[in-house]
Amino acid sequence: MVACLAIVTGSVTAELVMPVWSEESRQRVGGEDWIPGGALLLETEEATPEDGTGVKPPTAAETVKEEKPDEIQEHYLEAYFAQRPETFLVDPQGLLDPVSARDRTAFLDYHSSDSQIDFYVYLFGEGQRIPAEVREEELSERLFGGGKPALVLFYYLGEPKRSEVFLSPQLTDSVSDAERRRMIKSSVLAASEKGDAIAQLEAFCVQTAIRIYWMEKAAGLLVGERVEPVVAKPVVEEVAASPNRLDGMKEQFGQFWWDWGAVVSVSLAGALFAFGGWWYARFRARYRFPDFEVAPRLGGDHAAGIGAVIAFGSTTQSPSAQESGVPDYFGGI
């Protein structure tokens, strides 16, 4: 069958012959599971995307899934939060290299042996999130409710500003939230001065250990020391561009004096005593100059005595009036 199209232009009528399917093409197309031009007739999302690019845009659920934070994998949660850790550094993901992990563990062990408050560090990766079903506030009561008081630090490697500090129930009554915020603030400031993630962790832990000493005093855990009542002070936000490091320097000096004050005092006293003895010995010193034997000149005790001699016998006359004749030893030369 031949399809014809009639076009009328003025008084002229022209017939255009349309293409016709051959029997071979019709059989080949009929055996396939598609209809030529069928995509234009179906109003589906896959066939006609709104952006016209031929690619289906992501749905809202897919967008939320892509933006979902990097949560800690489920098989690590038990190692983190199932029971009170046996070591003070909790790193089941192995984020630290063996040398750094050994150094941090040794530091925390030494702190525990010298302090009345244990210091636990839970280490997480940069950008990681703790799942919502884990209640961090309940961990201190569930895992650290008994035994030695403890401070628990949630530290995100490379992100010290995200750090969180939790106290065991024995410390919550004696240490205020304002003091805990000041601790985090000073530790973050110390860590921000370092450029390396491992160095930031080290500086953060050292500064936190210094602040724990003041917590011991506030909680009355230091034996033989008078405990002053802790008054919560309002937290004032700093407006200055450069942070004030005076408080941190005072705390570091106080900790240094606590550890080495006796040694420094004895050393200074010994040095002052030695300097005083040396100065007194120099002040009392007496020097004696030796008498040298001088050979006689021309057989006499003195020289020839040649030279001008001026003598004044009267205070009322001028020197010229008192001039006396001097013998001419050289014959008028």
Distance, in Å, from the CA atom of 123 to the CA atom of 93, rounded to the nearest integer, reads 9
**208, burial (CB in 10 Å: exposed 0-12, middle 13-18, buried 19+):** buried
Closest CA to 218 of 261, 174, 161, 256: 174
pLDDT reported for residue 261: 81
pLDDT reported for residue 243: 47
At residue 132, φ and ψ (nearest 5 deg) are -65, -25
pLDDT reported for residue 306: 56
- Cα–Cα distances (Å) from 253 to 73, 247, 248, 256, 314, in that order, read 42, 10, 9, 5, 79
Q: Which two tokens stand for residue 246?
A: 């005076």
29's torsion region: left (phi>0), alpha (psi -120 to 50) or beta?
A: alpha
pTM of structure: 0.48
pLDDT reported for residue 64: 43
Residue with tokens 């199932």: 82
pLDDT reported for residue 237: 45
pLDDT reported for residue 81: 87
CA angle 122, 123, 125 (to 5 degrees): 145
pLDDT reported for residue 121: 93
Distance, in Å, from the CA atom of 89 to the CA atom of 123, rounded to the nearest integer, reads 7
pLDDT reported for residue 45: 44
3-state secondary structure 111-159: HHHHCCCEEEEEEECCCEECCCCCCHHHHHHHHHCCCCCEEEEEEECCC
The CB-side HSE value for 32 (13 A sphere, CA atoms) comes to 8
pLDDT, averaged per 10 consecutive residues of the chain (333 residues), comes to 47 60 69 57 48 51 50 86 89 92 93 90 90 78 84 92 89 84 91 90 93 83 53 46 59 79 87 91 83 68 59 71 67 62
- Cα–Cα distances (Å) from 217 to 91, 116, 202, 214, 262, in that order, read 30, 10, 24, 5, 20
Distance, in Å, from the CA atom of 319 to the CA atom of 78, rounded to the nearest integer, reads 118
- Could you tell me whether strands 4-9 and 12-17 are parallel, antiparallel, or unpaired per DSSP bridges? antiparallel
Q: What is the CA radius of gyration of the chain?
A: 49
For the chain, percent helix, then strand, then coil, each to nearest 5?
Answer: 40, 10, 45
- Cα–Cα distances (Å) from 261 to 110, 134, 191, in that order, read 20, 45, 27
Closest CA to 86 of 54, 59, 120, 126: 120
CB 320 within 8 A of CB 311: no
Cα dihedral 111/113/114/120 (nearest 10):
30
pLDDT reported for residue 287: 78
At residue 129, φ and ψ (nearest 5 deg) are -130, 145
Distance, in Å, from the CA atom of 292 to the CA atom of 299, rounded to the nearest integer, reads 18
